[in-house]
Structure formats: structure tokens, C-alpha cells
Amino acid sequence: MNTTRHFLKDTDLTPAEQAEVLELAVRMKAAPYSVQPFAAAGNGRKTVAVIFDKTSTRTRVSFATGIADMGGNALIINPGEAQIGHKESVEDTAKVLERMVSTIVWRTSAHSGLVAMAENSKVPVINALCDDYHPCQLLADLLAVKEHKGELKGLTMAYLGDAANNMANSYLLAGVTAGMHVRISGPEGYLPAAEIVAAAEERAAETGGSVLITTDAKEALNDADVVATDTWVSMGQEAEKEAGCSSSASTPWTRRPWNTPHRTPSCSTACLRTEAMRFPPASSTAPVHRLGRSREPLARPESAHGVADAQVGTRIRRRPFPR
């Protein structure tokens, strides 16, 4: 029986394991090269396969840097360079890779592909982004929040935007795993799937967190400690751009939802009226991929008519029109 652990979605970590990862990241930030899990006997280095079906800058650089800093060798396989799912099945690929590498990191589209890879691999498989989840990004985001707010448990985190995408799913699942009160707000037709909400509610019952799904942005924002958003047009979903623009433009919270009571947003990623801050993307992924490094937040971003400009630890997105 294959007992290898994989990290395919946010709830693959228990609350205790998530907290342990974040504490380790804090320690490694203070002593960047103190942990060397990929260093082999003598001067050897273990190899980690990092496969990209989708293009990447931040994820590629942070994984490659993290692996190298922890004593390993990153084997980068760029889009179009592998035969996975074409001439070679995912299952066969898993059997080939497990004989040559210590870990498989895969940025792809269908979550089912990651599941198939994990089911057929004796080495760990890590989800570097798929259409349903982005768990590594959320660990990085939670690290940034932890550094600025301290204890995560009990904080209220609001997410506004396309609430049916991978980032909304991961904010929901990772947030309640940390014991946070997670509020997800989007227009009708852009809300999390029922099974995602059910999984989040189950985890929240374990941690003392809570889940709120609403189409009312003001309800989500009220007294929020952390605010996040994401692009309307996710990678690989460019065909949906027109529909996303139409939905965002017709939704009241894309106009000016921010004039609502809130705590001092020292960890907010939105253009709130006071002290809104963003966390640079390179600082968010590297600390968790490498479990240690992040930079200080940059200055407050310019206002965009009261519309959210930034996502915790990820890329800047302008509203109401996606790029």
C-alpha cells in the first residue's frame, strides 16, 4: 500500500501540520540555509522535478530557488517539453519520474491529473497550481499575514471577486484550516462549488473557524482583518473574459464597497481608505517553497476607484477590467 504523503489541496495538511509548516518557515527565514532536506550523501543533491503545463515567472523562480537553497537540484520542465497526457499517460509518467527524482511538483490544469500522478507515485507530489486549488500560494499568503498580524486563529479574512476560481477555493480551505473566519463574496454564478463549501465547513468545525458565502461585499468586508482578491480571468480561462468583465462591471461591489466599518487594515490587500498594504509576490512563494524567506511589504498601492488592487502575496490586479 502506498503511504506517501502528497500536497494536492489545502486540506491535505491538518491544522497542526499547517501551523508547523508556517512556524518552520518563520525559523528558516531567520536562518535561510539551516534546513537541507534535499542534500544527499557526500556532496550529492537530490533532484526535484518541477513541471509546468502553464507558463510561470514567480512560481518557477520561487520553487527553483527554494529547492536549491534546501540543497536540491530543480529539474525544470517547461510547457511543451513533456509528453504527459499526450504520448505518455500520467500514470506512466509517475512511474518513470519516481525512479529518478525525490519529489514531483506540477503546475497544470485538471486536478484529476494531479490525483492520478499521486496515486501512481511513490514520491511526494505537490500541486503548484491547478484549476481548482493553489495550496502553496495560500501557505505563502498565510505566512505573510502571520508576520504582520501574529496569531492567525480568530482573524477574519474576506475575499472578493471571482469566488468560483482556484484562489477563492484555497483561501476558503486554508483559511479555516488556520482557524480563521473566512468570508467569500462574489456575484451570482461566481461562487464556490457546494462541495468546496462543505469541505470548508467541516474543517471549520474542527478549528473554530467559520464560513460565510455571500453576494453582499459590504457584509464580507465588515470588520475584516485581511482582504484579498484575484483576477477575473484565470490562466487557461481567457475565453471567459467577456463574461467576467460583464459580471464585474454589473456588480455593486466593484464600484465602491470600501466605505464600510473595518479594523485598521494593516494586513489588508485592498485599496481601503487607510494604510492598505500589499505583499510582493516574490516574497510570498519563496518562503514556503523554501520554507523561509520573505521581504517587507511595499508601499500602499494607488487607489483604483475603491476597487481591490492586490491579492495577499500574489500579483497585482486592476479592476474593473481584467487584463
pLDDT in tens, 261-300: 445 444 444 332 222 223 333 344 444 555 433 433 333 3
Predicted TM-score of the model (pTM): 0.79
DSSP, collapsed to helix, strand or coil, labels residue 184 as strand
pLDDT the model gives residue 39: 94
Average pLDDT score, the chain: 80
The C-alpha cell at 48 is 526535484
The one-letter amino acid code at 238 reads: E
Q: Which residues contact 247 (CB under 8 A, 6 or more apart)?
A: 187, 189, 190, 232
pLDDT the model gives residue 178: 98
The span from the CA of 181 to the CA of 208, in Å, is: 8
Q: State the DSSP code for 26.
A: H
Dihedral over Cα of 23, 29, 34, 37: its sign: positive
The one-letter amino acid code at 92 reads: D
The span from the CA of 53 to the CA of 128, in Å, is: 10
The residue with greater pLDDT, 110 or 269, is 110
The C-alpha cell at 252 is 455593486
pLDDT in tens, 19-75: 999 999 999 989 989 999 999 888 899 999 999 999 889 999 999 999 999 999 999
pLDDT at 123 over 80: yes
- Whether the CB-CB separation of 192 and 252 falls below 8 Å is answered with no
**Cis bond upstream, residue 320 (ω within 30):** yes
In the chain, the domains with their CATH numbers are 36-127 (3.40.50.1370), 138-289 (3.40.50.1370)
